[in-house]
Amino acid sequence: MKDIDLDKLVKAIEKGKKVTFFNGAGISTSAGIPDFRSPDTGLYSNLAKLNLPYAEAVFDIDYFKEDPKPFYTLATELMPGQFPPTKFHYLIKLFQDKNKLNRVYTQNIDTLERLAGVEDENIVEAHGSFASNHCIECKEEMSSNTFKDLMEKGIPNCESCKGYVKPDIVFFGEGLPKKFFSSWDDDCDNVEIAIIAGTSLTVYPFASLPSEVDKKCIRVLANKEKVGDLGSRKDDILALGGCDEFAEKIARSLGWEKELDKLYDEGQNKYTTKKESEQEKIEDIKFELKKVDIKESKFKNEDKDEVDIDVSNLIEKLKI
């Protein structure tokens, strides 16, 4: 991004123009979440172990109804709480806190915008997310805690009708959330600054959004490569490179650098502390289990009276 383009963007923000974000999987890769389509490293290229007829079947609603196991296998690797938000996510949070955020349109299902502190009213998850869960048959909602507990034991089933319960992620064969269309009807003609980040702009209708904004809109592409029609308008700004590097540069230019670093460091510390706490619990469990001979998750001890193990304490520690 040229300095003259950066100055133009900063001045527009300082004059009160609000930013609308259009996010793709690339803003989350530095958190450790693989994207879907990158060769060798994308999720689709690493699904061979699930023996799917084709990679995208893991997110196909008809295939899910026949065999939900592959999705739940993948879901355990993507559940919120395992990955911390990135600097780019916290940049969005800063725009919100300073009343300079219009909306966040995201293709991502990882909920990292939410974990960074962006409010629900400001987020449009075009492809749904792990934030809520419903039965695919009777549509009854299930809390995230209950869903997570059931998924650790097997396949979550609805308490009412016994149908499969899945996160409100949009599968192939399902319609996009109503919020996507209603929000875009409100926002389309009012986008003043559009920041398009970490996306290949290949999945529609999301991919068409940046092209539908007003010609006077400043469009900024924060991406490793040029995509869509970005760069074809006189007010377009191309910032080709990493999303976090873009966030750092913008924050520095706006005088938000210390605030961004503080938010990011606090988020990383919270995540690290949680991981350390979980690891300590695991080590405690291992210690307790050494007191009995356990094979294939079954107690093999014959003389239970000689086993010195606090079962209630062990069960409590297993709830991590």
Closest CA to 17 of 179, 211, 214, 240: 214
134 is catalytic: no
Q: How far apart are CA 248 and CA 244, in angstroms?
A: 6
Among the listed residues 89, 127, 148, 219, the single catalytic one is: 127
Closest CA to 160 of 176, 142, 183: 142
Helices within 58-143 (DSSP H only): 61-66, 69-78, 87-97, 112-115
Closest CA to 151 of 61, 47, 240, 78: 78
HSE (CB half, 13 Å, CA atoms) of 275?
10
Token code pair at residue 312:
């209630």
DSSP class of residue 45? Answer: G
Rounded to 5 degrees, what are φ and ψ at 199?
A: -135, 145
**Helix, strand, or coil (residue 218):** strand
**Looking at the DSSP assignment, which residues form a beta bridge with residue 80?**
none
Q: Are 168 and 139 in contact (CB under 8 A)?
A: no
Give strand ranges (E) for the chain.
19-23, 101-106, 123-125, 128-135, 141-142, 165-169, 193-197, 218-223, 237-240, 294-295, 298-299
Q: Token match 């969005």: residue?
A: 92
Closest CA to 194 of 19, 27, 6: 19
Residues identified as active-site: 127
